[in-house]
């Protein structure tokens, strides 16, 4: 199989970026294409275009570790596909936090739980952008894309807004300083598990909802 490698420079303008993405996805239909970039807008456009054209893709994150740079790793949670990100938090991150909670107590658990809460918020924000708002407005992308997407917004009902408001309010409060008199305690593992499972259920239901309903 022919393999092509591309290093995308940061000076790529938006107009050229769209054309490069289109060209790369066309090439990937007949060969393996490897793209190196730190440009999040390009990564997002490549993922969207690949999905649209039915081209498989895999994202590998290169991390700087204490022993050196360029170490391959899983991409950050918010950049993964929604089910993979949520299941990773549920089955790995939360499972580890639960072990800490049961063996060493709340003080050390709070460190793990707060990091998990932050990733939950980021992941839900991405779901609002991609699923609820159907990619119409996307971060790192200049144009507003309504072609073939705007009708999907009609799936949104009032209960969706209530649910998103409630869970965003619940988990974003941990990002702020707490009052000394009545600090808000971090959710315990069972409660987080229920919230993550409920979010997966909501995502499945919303994704499969009939646009004409």
Q: What is the mean pLDDT of each run of 10 residues along the chain (213 residues)?
A: 58 71 90 84 82 88 86 76 84 94 93 91 86 79 74 90 94 81 86 95 91 66
pLDDT at residue 195 in the model: 95
Tokens standing for 115? Answer: 């990091």
pLDDT at residue 2 in the model: 59
pLDDT at residue 78 in the model: 63
Nearest to 164 by CA among 109, 135, 126, 134: 126
Q: Which residue has the tokens 């290169």?
A: 62
pLDDT at residue 5 in the model: 60
pLDDT at residue 205 in the model: 93
Q: Which residue has the tokens 């950049």?
A: 79
| CB distance 49 to 21 below 8 Å | yes
Is the whole model's pTM more than 0.85, yes or no?
no
pLDDT at residue 6 in the model: 57
Tokens standing for 198? Answer: 């409920």
């Amino acid at each position: 199989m022919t393999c092509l490698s591309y290093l995308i420079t940061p000076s790529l303008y938006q107009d050229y970026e769209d054309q490069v993405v289109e060209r790369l996805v066309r090439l990937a239909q007949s060969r393996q294409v490897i793209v190196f970039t730190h440009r999040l807008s390009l990564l997002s456009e490549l993922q969207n275009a690949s999905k649209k054209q039915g081209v498989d893709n895999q994202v590998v994150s290169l991390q700087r570790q204490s022993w050196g740079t360029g170490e391959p790793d899983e991409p950050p949670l918010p950049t993964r596909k929604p089910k993979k990100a949520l299941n990773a938090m549920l089955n790995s991150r939360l499972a580890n936090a639960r072990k800490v909670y049961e063996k060493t107590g709340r003080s050390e658990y709070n460190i793990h739980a707060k990091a998990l809460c932050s990733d939950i918020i980021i992941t839900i924000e991405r779901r609002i952008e991609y699923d609820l708002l159907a990619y119409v407005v996307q971060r790192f992308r200049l144009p507003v894309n309504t072609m073939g997407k705007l009708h999907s917004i009609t799936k949104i009902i009032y209960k969706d807004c209530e649910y998103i408001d409630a869970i965003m309010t619940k988990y974003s409060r941990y990002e702020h300083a707490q009052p000394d008199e009545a600090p808000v305690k971090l959710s315990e593992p069972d409660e987080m598990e229920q919230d993550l499972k409920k979010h997966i259920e909501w995502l499945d239901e919303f994704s499969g909802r009939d646009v004409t309903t």
